[in-house]
Every structure is written in C-alpha cells, then in structure tokens.
C-alpha cells in the first residue's frame, strides 16, 4: 500500500520562509507568533529518523486503514464494540462492513508515494483560538491539509485557509464533501457504516457526500492502538482530532498541527460557531492528556504545534 512504501519519518523540520528579491536571497526563521507570512518554498530535505520513545511508539502502529484483505480481528472488535454502544455481534459487524465495501470500495491510496520530496501535512482542528491567527496562507502551503468534521473555510479563509485535501468525518459531525476531497471515515459503531451507505446512495436526493469521493476507512485496530499506546488507556477513547494527529505521524513526513486546545476562556469552542454552554470540557476524551501529548511531541521536534497567539 502506498502509505506503507515510504520509510517512516519521525523527525521534525523547522520551516524557513524564502523571500526572493533582485538583490539576493534572504532567509527568515518562522516564528510561532508571526501573524503574517510570505511563503515561497519549504526547505527541501526530509526530516531525519529520530531514535526516540516517540519513534518507537509510532513504529508500533498497526495498518491504519483496512479493507477486505486486512480485516479486523474478533479481539479488536470486542474492544471497539462498546465505544458508542454497538450491540450487534461480530458476524453482523463483518456482514455490515462487507456490504459497505461492496457499495463504497475502500481506497488505500491515501497519499501517493513521494520519492524526491517531503510530504508536508497540516492537521487543522476547529478550536476557537484560530480566530485572528492569520494562519490561512501557511496552512494552504502544505501538500496535504486534513480538516476535522464540520470545520469550514468560507468566511474564515484568512485564519484557516481554503485548501482541503482530506477530511476526517463521522456521522454526528458530518458536513458536505465534494469529489475533490478524500474522505477519511472514522467509524465508531456499526450504524456508522449503514449511515455512510445511505448518504452515498445515488438514489438519495439529499446525500451529503458527492459521487466519486474516495473513501478510506480507519481501522478499529488503529483506534485501539492509539488508546493503548498513546493514551495509556486513559479516558473512554481517543478523540477524532487526537487520532488524526497520530495517524498523520504514520502517513506524513512532516506534521504541523493547528487549531487544537481550549480558547482564551478555557472553553473547547469552535471557530465557526458559538456554544451556548460554557465549560463543556472534552466529554469521554482525556483532553488534558491529549493536549499534553501534543506539547511533548512539539518539544521533541516530532511535530510543530501552533498554539493560540
């Protein structure tokens, strides 16, 4: 599979902004606090492998996506089943997945392999602290831009950019997806597969996902791996955003994370909507543990974590 053909890169590459003028070439180090960027090119070399605890944790990853060939074991199913209250048995689960694959075949070509350059990935969360960040141009400059669930760009282009190559989604946070975007489907329960078949049925006049959209299914085995290895079995299970960041470490060469964490008032708000209720926290997810992991990955130069300005 293409994403497994690449040698895993767990290092980190600091960006440099190259501004070319008649008088010559000037290089400016990119600051975490800069509000505007003039970007012409990234540095050309891939990050080097890092022999670290984080590198070993990444190397423990199972195949992130699954298909008819790479199926899910009954042991993993038993862990996955209670996450959001699925009650059906393993036989019904396998039948449901097979029916979904027949209608919507999984594509494992998430990112085409690159042999001569680094694949830079921006993982863009929905935190309210993105407002006023002016990170839009920087986000759009990445090869791959992964957005979360209902994260929109219209009206917020200056802060979050316009480019979306991949969208992570599950039914409760679904948004419109056109055929220019690759859908990374995160199924938390058996009914999620049934929902996907419904919204992608050509006979459904109200379908929210366009025909021709490529769909890749996150494996429950990867969900379990994130929970066991990265969260130390803390909380109910990993949040969509956290699993996406860990996933990006496996399939990208360079990872930069935007829009994660609480806003200035300590609320886990979204930049595109106002919550009526404050202090909602992170529910079943271990928000503090996840945020601390982002900070540790940043300190270890595995990712670059762009916090609120």
How far apart are alpha carbons 238 and 234 in whole angstroms? 9
How far apart are alpha carbons 89 and 294 in whole angstroms? 36
How far apart are alpha carbons 81 and 295 in whole angstroms? 31
- Is the pLDDT at 280 greater than 80? The verdict is no
Quote the pLDDT of residue 261.
76
- Is the pLDDT at 113 greater than 50? The verdict is yes
Residue tagged active-site, from 15, 170, 188, 237: 237
Domain parsing of the chain, residue ranges: 2-306
Quote the pLDDT of residue 212.
81
At 207, the pLDDT band (50, 70, 90 cuts) reads low
Maximum CA extent, the chain: 70
- Is the pLDDT at 35 greater than 60? The verdict is no
Residue tagged active-site, from 271, 285, 294, 298: 285
In this prediction, residues 110-125 reach a mean pLDDT of 77
Quote the pLDDT of residue 21.
29
Say which residue the tokens 């993982």 belong to.
123
Q: How big, in percent rounded to 5, are the helix, strand and coil portions of the chain?
A: 30, 15, 55
| Percentage of the chain lying above the pLDDT 90 cut | 42
What is the average pLDDT value for the chain, to the nearest integer? 77
- Is the pLDDT at 146 greater than 50? The verdict is yes
Q: Using CB atoms within 10 Å of the CB of residue 146, give its burial: 0 to 12 exposed, 13 to 18 middle, 19+ buried.
A: buried
Q: Is 237 a catalytic residue?
A: yes
Q: Is 285 a catalytic residue?
A: yes
pLDDT in tens, 219-250: 999 999 999 999 998 877 888 999 999 999 99
SS (H, E, C) 77-116: HHHHCCCCCCCCCHHHHHHHHHHHHHHCCCCCCCCCCCCC
How far apart are alpha carbons 199 and 172 in whole angstroms? 13
How far apart are alpha carbons 165 and 144 in whole angstroms? 6
Q: 2-306: what fold?
A: sialyltransferase cstii, chain A (3.90.1480)
């Amino acid at each position: 599979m293409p994403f497994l053909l690449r040698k895993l890169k767990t290092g980190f590459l600091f960006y440099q902004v190259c501004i070319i003028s008649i008088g010559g070439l000037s290089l400016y180090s990119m600051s975490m606090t800069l509000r505007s960027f003039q970007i012409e090119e990234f540095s050309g070399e891939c990050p080097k492998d890092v022999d670290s605890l984080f590198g070993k944790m990444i190397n423990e990853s199972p195949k992130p996506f699954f298909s008819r060939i790479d199926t899910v074991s009954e042991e993993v199913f038993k862990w996955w089943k209670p996450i959001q209250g699925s009650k059906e048995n393993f036989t019904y689960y396998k039948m449901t997945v097979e029916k979904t694959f027949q209608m919507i075949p999984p594509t494992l070509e998430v990112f085409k392999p690159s042999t001569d350059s680094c694949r830079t990935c921006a993982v863009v969360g929905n935190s309210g602290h993105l407002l006023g960040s002016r990170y839009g141009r920087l986000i759009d400059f990445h090869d791959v831009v992964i957005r979360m669930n209902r994260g929109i760009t219209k009206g917020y282009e200056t802060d979050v950019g316009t480019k979306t190559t991949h969208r992570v989604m599950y039914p409760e946070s679904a948004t419109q997806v056109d055929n220019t975007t690759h859908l990374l489907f995160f199924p938390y329960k058996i009914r999620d597969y049934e929902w996907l078949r419904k919204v992608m049925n050509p006979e459904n006049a109200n379908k929210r996902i366009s025909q021709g959209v490529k769909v890749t299914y996150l494996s429950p085995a990867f969900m379990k791996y994130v929970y066991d290895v990265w969260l130390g079995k803390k909380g109910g299970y990993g949040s969509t955003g956290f699993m996406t960041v860990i996933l990006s470490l496996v399939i990208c060469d360079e990872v930069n994370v935007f829009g994660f964490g609480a806003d200035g008032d300590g609320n886990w708000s979204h930049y595109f909507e106002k919550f009526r209720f404050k202090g909602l926290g992170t529910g079943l997810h271990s928000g503090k543990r996840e945020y601390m992991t982002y900070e540790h990955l940043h300190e270890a130069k595995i990712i670059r974590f762009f916090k609120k300005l």
